[in-house]
């Protein structure tokens, strides 16, 4: 089953392809007014930066040279004024910078989260949670640099570089030529280092995601319990150490590569002024140039090299940002396998009739988890599924919910092929209670309202009473406002299940899917749950994965599944009389004292 088109669709890793750039701009586009203002400010700052070298030249050559105290005072004031103007523009620039970056990150995060929410179950059974978290957090944060680093510095550096070059040429073409000779030596190392850094960055991102996943799995409650019960703390710590050590080494390498690079760069940039002083010094001696001109020129030189160097490193920055974008786009490109058909309509009726017509399901091509399954459940009827583990019972219920789609055949609800109705209207009509009950870290009331946002307190209480959990809820510390879930008030398995039943009651679906708990609860709790469930099933079409004899006895039809096929069907008595697989299962259970459910039924 091709559950995830994503991996095939993801473009091969040409980091800054034209398509990727266009997509990046798509995310920048909504903020163009702010971007324009930002770029104007950046341009202004770059031009203002040209002024100080000229003030210095006038101070040295005119004010000091002609001993003009008044001019010296004015020039000093001017240089302070320029500094203040420059500072103010800087504040505005960083405000706009942050604003745009944060908004883009917000958009990206929302887009990824929305995409993930739209995906089918298959994606989540195949992806580690930590990997997803890492894309949502560190990759999104990584693109922060695109606006503040790449976009702003490109503009600023280009304007600075060009304006400085123009001014330098106007002063002296010979000095300009001397200054520019050094530039190629700056470019060469940049290209090599860029490649190495990019490779390391990519490795680090992957390693980071893997370490995150490991932490998530081993520090989550289920994983942690497993480690404790198997006494695997040592091995897990060792694994963690090894993974982290690799990550640490990668990070050190990445940082060191950068350092060597900057060292080479700074040696080369120091060569420029040296050349200028050597050549210009001679010219001053021969009286062709003034001291002020050389000092101003050296000051301008910094405005030539810094942007040139930055433009080179910018190339590296863009590549690394592109790597982040690439990983984000991979997620945005995922297409849900199960989505509304273009012409999907809401389910017109809500009787709750389920029909399977020659349904087969293959998770993996060629391996049938369900094979030619046909049956009908009418409103008010209950179908019980029995059969060995792995027979396809859960898979059958997944198909009703469209968590997966059948490979062939069709599933109908109220006579409509469920692939032609909207997912929302289908799922609104279905309630499920599974063995793995999940509660959010929120109040009992909020957990219940998950089924019906607008439910009143009276409705909550009515549903809870029907599920025999109301009395328990009101004796908790804060009643319906008690926080439950992962770090909240701990509920027992039976209590959680009753709360889940109340939640489904509130939803009031026409179809009910139940995976009965295999573990036996105490008889008191058990009775409440059974009574709650019978109320829930009354008048609804139910499919129950049966683990209890009471259920199969009450069922209108029992389907015995084996290797994805229905090999027997009928009522309990019919199947017993038939003397086949079901009868053998029943005999086995009767003779097995470890099956309290059966034993209690026989009482």
Applying CB under 6 A, which residues contact ligand ATP? 125, 363-364, 369, 389-395
Nearer to ligand ATP, 312 or 566 (CB): 566
CB of 385 to ligand ATP, least distance (A): 8
Q: Tokens representing 108? A: 């990206």
Nearer to ligand ATP, 186 or 391 (CB): 391
Pairing of strands 367-377, 541-545: unpaired
CB of 594 to ligand ATP, least distance (A): 17
Nearer to ligand ATP, 390 or 493 (CB): 390
DSSP 20-31: HHHHHHHHHGGG
Chain position carrying tokens 């009910």: 512
**Could you give the CA distance from residue 96 to residue 88 in angstroms, rounded to a whole number?**
13
**Could you give the CA distance from residue 228 to residue 225 in angstroms, rounded to a whole number?**
5
Q: Which residues contact 503 (CB under 8 A, 6 or more apart)?
A: 447, 448, 450, 451, 463
Nearer to ligand ATP, 372 or 531 (CB): 372
Nearer to ligand ATP, 445 or 561 (CB): 561
Q: Is the Cβ–Cβ distance between 392 and 369 less than 8 Å?
A: yes
CB of 123 to ligand ATP, least distance (A): 10
**Could you give the CA distance from residue 427 to residue 413 in angstroms, rounded to a whole number?**
11
CB of 13 to ligand ATP, least distance (A): 28
Nearer to ligand ATP, 126 or 238 (CB): 126
Degrees to nearest 5, angle at CA 371 with 367 and 377: 140
CB of 582 to ligand ATP, least distance (A): 15
**Could you give the CA distance from residue 33 to residue 92 in angstroms, rounded to a whole number?**
15
Residue 380, H or E segment: none
Nearer to ligand ATP, 66 or 389 (CB): 389
CB of 88 to ligand ATP, least distance (A): 59
Q: Which residues contact 157 (CB under 8 A, 6 or more apart)?
A: 306, 307, 308, 310, 311, 314
Nearer to ligand ATP, 308 or 543 (CB): 543
CA distances from 501 to 173, 506, 519, 531, 545 (A): 85, 9, 17, 11, 16
Nearer to ligand ATP, 251 or 394 (CB): 394
CB of 559 to ligand ATP, least distance (A): 11
Question: What single-letter DSSP state applies at residue 272?
Answer: H
CA distances from 231 to 58, 227, 228, 240, 300 (A): 78, 6, 5, 16, 67
Nearer to ligand ATP, 321 or 395 (CB): 395
CB of 391 to ligand ATP, least distance (A): 4
**Could you give the CA distance from residue 488 to residue 441 in angstroms, rounded to a whole number?**
6
Q: Which residues contact 79 (CB under 8 A, 6 or more apart)?
A: 52, 55
CB of 27 to ligand ATP, least distance (A): 33
Q: Which residues contact 283 (CB under 8 A, 6 or more apart)?
A: 289, 294
Q: Tokens representing 288? A: 């062709």
**Could you give the CA distance from residue 194 to residue 314 in angstroms, rounded to a whole number?**
9
**Could you give the CA distance from residue 157 to residue 196 in angstroms, rounded to a whole number?**
24
Nearer to ligand ATP, 197 or 393 (CB): 393
Give me the count of residues in the chain: 603
CB of 392 to ligand ATP, least distance (A): 4
Instruction: Classify residue 230 by burial, with Cβ atoms within 10 Å: 0-12, 13-18, 19+.
Output: exposed
CB of 540 to ligand ATP, least distance (A): 21
């Amino acid at each position: 089953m091709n559950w995830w088109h994503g991996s095939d669709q993801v473009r091969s890793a040409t980091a800054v392809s034209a398509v990727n750039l266009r997509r990046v701009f798509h995310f920048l586009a909504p903020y163009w007014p702010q971007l324009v203002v930002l770029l104007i400010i950046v341009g202004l700052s770059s031009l203002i930066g040209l002024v100080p070298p000229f003030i210095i030249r006038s101070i040295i050559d005119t004010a000091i040279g002609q001993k003009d105290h008044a001019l010296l005072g004015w020039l000093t004031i001017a240089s302070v004024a320029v500094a203040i103007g420059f500072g103010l523009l800087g504040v505005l620039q960083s405000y706009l910078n942050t604003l745009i970056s944060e908004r883009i990150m917000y958009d990206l995060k929302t887009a990824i989260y929305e995409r993930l929410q739209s995906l089918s179950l298959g994606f989540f059974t195949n992806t580690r949670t930590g990997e997803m978290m890492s894309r949502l957090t560190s990759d999104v944060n990584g693109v922060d640099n695109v606006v503040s680093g790449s976009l702003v510095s490109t503009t600023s550096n280009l304007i600075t570089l060009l304006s400085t070059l123009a001014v330098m040429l106007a002063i002296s073409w010979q000095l300009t030529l001397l200054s520019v000779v050094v530039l190629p030596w700056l470019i060469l190392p940049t290209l090599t280092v860029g490649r190495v850094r990019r490779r390391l960055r990519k490795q680090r991102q992957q390693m980071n995601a893997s370490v995150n996943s490991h932490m998530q799995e081993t520090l989550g409650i289920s994983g942690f319990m497993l480690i404790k019960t198997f006494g695997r703390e040592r091995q897990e710590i060792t694994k963690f150490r090894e993974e982290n050590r690799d990550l640490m080494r990668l990070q050190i390498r990445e940082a060191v590569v950068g350092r060597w690079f900057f060292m080479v760069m700074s040696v080369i940039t120091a060569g420029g002024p040296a050349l200028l002083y050597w050549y210009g010094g001679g010219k001053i001696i021969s009286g062709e140039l003034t001291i002020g001109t050389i000092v101003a020129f050296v000051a301008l030189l910094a405005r030539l090299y810094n942007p040139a160097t930055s433009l080179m490193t910018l190339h590296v920055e863009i590549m690394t940002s592109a790597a982040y974008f690439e990983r984000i786009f991979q997620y945005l490109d995922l297409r849900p396998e199960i989505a509304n058909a273009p012409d999907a309509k809401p389910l017109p009726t809500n009787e709750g009739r389920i029909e399977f017509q020659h349904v087969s399901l293959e998770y993996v091509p060629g391996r049938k988890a369900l094979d030619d399954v046909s049956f009908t459940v009418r409103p008010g009827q209950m179908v019980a599924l029995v059969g060995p583990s792995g027979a396809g019972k859960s898979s059958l219920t997944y198909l009703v919910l469209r968590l997966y789609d059948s490979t062939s055949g069709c599933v109908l609800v109220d006579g409509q092929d469920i692939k032609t109705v909207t997912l929302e209207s289908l799922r609104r009509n279905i309630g499920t209670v599974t063995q793995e009950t999940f509660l959010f870290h929120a109040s009992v009331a909020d957990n219940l309202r998950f089924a019906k946002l607008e439910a009143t307190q009276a409705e909550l209480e009515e549903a809870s009473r029907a599920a025999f959990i109301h009395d328990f809820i009101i004796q908790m510390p804060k009643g319906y406002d008690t926080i439950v879930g992962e770090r909240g008030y701990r509920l027992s398995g039976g209590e959680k299940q009753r709360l889940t039943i109340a939640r489904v009651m509130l939803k009031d679906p026409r179809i009910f899917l139940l995976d009965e708990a295999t573990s036996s609860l105490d008889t008191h709790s058990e009775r409440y749950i059974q009574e709650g469930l019978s109320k829930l099933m009354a008048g609804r079409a139910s499919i129950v994965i049966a683990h209890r004899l009471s259920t199969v006895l009450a069922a209108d039809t029992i389907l015995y599944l084996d290797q994805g096929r229905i090999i027997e069907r009928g009522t309990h008595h019919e199947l017993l009389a038939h003397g086949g697989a079901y009868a053998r299962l029943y005999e086995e259970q009767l003779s097995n004292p470890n099956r309290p459910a059966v034993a209690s039924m026989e009482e």
